[in-house]
Amino acid sequence: MILRTAIVAEGQTISIYRGPLTGSGTVSYSAVCQTDTILTSVYVTAITGTLKVKVFTFSQEGELEITDFALISAITPDLVIKQASATLSNIRVEVTYTGDCEVDIAMKGISGGSTGSMQIIGPTSGSTSTVTITNTPGILIAASPNDRKGLIFKNWTASSTLYVGFTLLTATSTDGWPMVYGESLAVDVEAGQVIYGVSASGSIDVRVLSVG
């Protein structure tokens, strides 16, 4: 079943599906992509069965799968995002589901290394959260399909220093940005960017404030 066909371009919001899915079945969304890279995001707020999302493009040999999300069987506390580069002009998103679920699935086009100003899915109000960072580099701020302004995080553990980097390789005591207990850092983050952290020793309680 084809829901509709649209153009994916910078500055546009493309909502693949937003709302409930009941029973079981497969729905598809087709589009003409005017960018060389796409971000597809999935956000599940309720689910009793499973949800599977795949993204396809087309070549001279036929349909080619470019993105395959892991099977989802529980709500997603954050957006689940996949990026596919060097796409061809025609793409199709396939959603297969069993049981009932409440889901937001959306797409963002990125071209030439730049990002558009599309607002895709997920929470639109401010939120706070706690992230535990250990002495093994891990994700401090997960990727989002939107540019985000005003992200603030604070080291809330007195016994250890937090080191922050924009890659796993730079989230180290040698290259990372050091943050002692009580110190905060505010950043603006581009769509798709992940921020990593590592503790000097033990576990660190990091408080995160997200606005918008």
* Partners of 51 in beta bridges: 72, 97
Do 103 and 136 have their domain in common?
A: no
What's the number of domains the chain is made of? Answer: 2
Q: Which residue has the tokens 């033990």?
A: 202
Distance, in Å, from the CA atom of 35 to the CA atom of 28, rounded to the nearest integer, reads 20
The answer to whether position 56 is within a domain reads yes
Q: What confidence tens digit (pLDDT) does each residue in 32-58 have?
A: 777 777 777 888 888 899 999 888 887
Closest-CA residue to 24 (of 51, 54, 56) = 51
Residues 32/90, Cβ–Cβ less than 8 Å: yes
Do 102 and 162 have their domain in common?
A: no
Structure confidence at residue 5 (pLDDT): 46
Do 109 and 12 have their domain in common?
A: yes
Structure confidence at residue 84 (pLDDT): 65
70: which residues sit within 8 A by CB, 6+ positions away?
none
- The answer on pLDDT for 115 being more than 50 is no
Do 145 and 184 have their domain in common?
A: yes
- The answer on pLDDT for 79 being more than 70 is no
Find the range with the poorest average confidence among 35-39, 115-119, 145-149: 115-119
Q: What confidence tens digit (pLDDT) does each residue in 16-27 have?
A: 777 788 888 888
